[in-house]
Amino acid sequence: MSTGCLRGEGLPAPTVISIDGPVAAGKTAVGRLLSRRLGYRLIDTGSMYRAVAWLALERRIDPSDEDALKRLAELTPVDITQRDGREVVIIAGEDVSDRLRTPEVEQVVSLVARVPGVRKALVEQQRRIAAGGRIVMVGRDIGTVVLPDAGLKLFLLASPGERARRRYLELEQSGQQVNQQKVLDDLLARDKLDSERADSPLRPAEDALKLDTDDLSLERVVARILALIRED
């Protein structure tokens, strides 16, 4: 783990934790386990961008039509709730939880996420959700833009090869036919769009702890974060 613990000794555990990082660095898995261990709520903001992308596809909105995407995001809030221990994502009255990881959504989501009007609408919702505290929020710009005052900021890293391997297994397990090289190419293309966009590009906050997960199991990553929290 890299330098710079953010919290002084004797402070209570942070009630707002941000986790950012590139595609398939383990953010959601780590966030889910960490939030369970702490009894906090998990919000995966990627699923909010995916939900808007899904709705844009449903309504046949051109992913280059920024005004239409902005209006869509402003008029249709994304609701994330817990049901039977899993996160349920609802947009325009539909439970889309199982429809957000298709190749069609993956193809357009980074285009949708780079539209400033879409980001503004979703960031407002994310800040409202986080205002209640006891939350782990996962995304790309949580530590830098959405919650700059988060008590603990994590930035997860892993090599492209390892991230492609994880993503490949995930897609295979969900029954999708995939080609390993294509998974790597798509992942790098999305990273590029996410890192090079003008509004809120993917980057670690200055006070984020960088954690390389290449050689660590999920359990070990979470154990390290919990040790860090409890150290104080």
Which stretches of the chain bind ligand DC, using CB under 6 A?
23, 45-46, 49-50, 109-110, 113, 139-142, 190, 194
Smallest distance, ligand DC to C-beta of residue 44, A: 7
- Residue position matching structure tokens 């999305």: 190
> In terms of CB distance, is 111 or 229 closer to ligand DC?
111
Smallest distance, ligand DC to C-beta of residue 140, A: 4
Label each residue of the chain as H, E or C. Answer: CCCCCCCCCCCCCCCEEEEECCCCCCHHHHHHHHHHHHCCEEEEHHHHHHHHHHHHHHCCCCCCCHHHHHHHHHHCCEEEEEECCEEEEEECCEECHHHCCCHHHHHHHHHHHCCHHHHHHHHHHHHHHHCCCCEEEEECCHHHHHCCCCCEEEEEECCHHHHHHHHHHHHHHCCCCCCHHHHHHHHHHHHHHHHHCCCCCCCCCCCCEEEECCCCCHHHHHHHHHHHHHCC
> In terms of CB distance, is 14 or 46 closer to ligand DC?
46
> In terms of CB distance, is 13 or 66 closer to ligand DC?
66
- Cβ pair 61, 70 in contact under 8 A: no
What CA–CA distance (Å, rounded) separates 231 from 225? 10
> In terms of CB distance, is 50 or 153 closer to ligand DC?
50
Smallest distance, ligand DC to C-beta of residue 217, A: 20
> In terms of CB distance, is 7 or 210 closer to ligand DC?
210
Smallest distance, ligand DC to C-beta of residue 10, A: 32
Smallest distance, ligand DC to C-beta of residue 59, A: 19
Nearest alpha-carbon partner for 148 in 206, 91, 105: 206
Smallest distance, ligand DC to C-beta of residue 110, A: 4
> In terms of CB distance, is 45 or 125 closer to ligand DC?
45
What CA–CA distance (Å, rounded) separates 153 from 139? 11
> In terms of CB distance, is 126 or 225 closer to ligand DC?
126
Smallest distance, ligand DC to C-beta of residue 49, A: 4
